[in-house]
Amino acid sequence: MTAQRDPPKPLAPSAPAGPPAASPASPGSRSAFDPFAATPASRTNADPFATTPASRTAFDPFAARPATRPPGSGAFDPFAARPAARTTVPNAPQATPAAPVAPTAMPPRAAALATVPATPLVRAESEFAAVARQMRVTHGLSPAELADLETVLQRRQFGAGSHIVRQGEPADVGGIVGAGRGHMRYETPGRPPVQFGSLRPGMLIGDGAVSGGGYHGASVVADSDCTVWTFTAGDVARLRTKNLGLFNKLQALVRDQQAGR
């Protein structure tokens, strides 16, 4: 028995020859850059105007930072919160204290100067001490007597023409002349005043304050600006109790001055 074959199919008419037709544009397979074509959402080319996806991993200075630092991150974050307490390494080795430095030997000259005893400071001489050396006191005043006398003296200034001591007033104030010029004056009612004597540094005036009260027998008048170290009769009485030797020297000075007038 012989097999039957299918009859041959008629051939389709061929298209006329000519340039090949352009294939339609395929968005998914496009490789050429077209500036006017719409940019697909999945485009991989860098586009500065494209919307940045939410999952972008590149650094964005304007992106919001996470509220907390990711755990386990080793990168330094200046905005991350610092821990409340600093972690210390247990059993860390302690720093060894420095060994004491041995004293340096002094140079020979410095060592020799160190053995020289220090010179005691010389106390500056008081202003009245220079006046006291001009007082015509027998054997002068000892340092202790000078110190006791200075405790009762007051430095006063008298202008030219003023009365340092006035005749007839109670003899409760005396003084020792420090500087200046002056004279004594004795006045008698109905007669011209009698001027006698002159002042000099170290001279004691107001004898009654030392010899025992009464009244001043004459006035003491300043011819120029005078410095006088004044004292009271009460001061002299206290000196007599404290330093009898000083009191006796002042009494002797008064007698010598009265005898020389």
Residue 195 resides in a domain: yes
Residue 242 resides in a domain: yes
Residue 243 resides in a domain: yes
The pLDDT value recorded for residue 66 is: 56
Residue 46 resides in a domain: no
User: With contact defined as beta carbons under 8 Å apart, do 261 and 254 qualify?
Assistant: no
Residue 150 resides in a domain: yes
- Residue 213 CA to residue 208 CA, distance in Å, equals 5
| Rounded average pLDDT per 10-residue block, the chain, 261 residues | 54 51 47 56 51 55 58 60 57 66 63 53 72 88 94 95 94 94 93 92 92 87 96 93 94 88 65
The one-letter amino acid at 259: A
The pLDDT value recorded for residue 152 is: 94
| Torsion over CA: 234, 239, 241, 242 (sign) | positive
First-to-final CA distance of the chain: 199
Classify 72 in phi/psi space as left (phi over 0), alpha (psi -120 to 50) or beta: left
User: With contact defined as beta carbons under 8 Å apart, do 160 and 224 qualify?
Assistant: yes
Q: What is the CATH number of the domain that holds 234?
A: 2.60.120.10
Residue 240 resides in a domain: yes
Residue 156 resides in a domain: yes
158 forms bridges with which residues in the sheet? 226
Domain count, the chain: 1
pTM score, two decimals? 0.53
Q: Tokens standing for 181? A: 């010029």
Q: Tokens standing for 16? A: 């006329």
Residue 214 resides in a domain: yes
Range of the domain at 153: 127-259
The pLDDT value recorded for residue 23 is: 47
User: With contact defined as beta carbons under 8 Å apart, do 155 and 227 qualify?
Assistant: yes
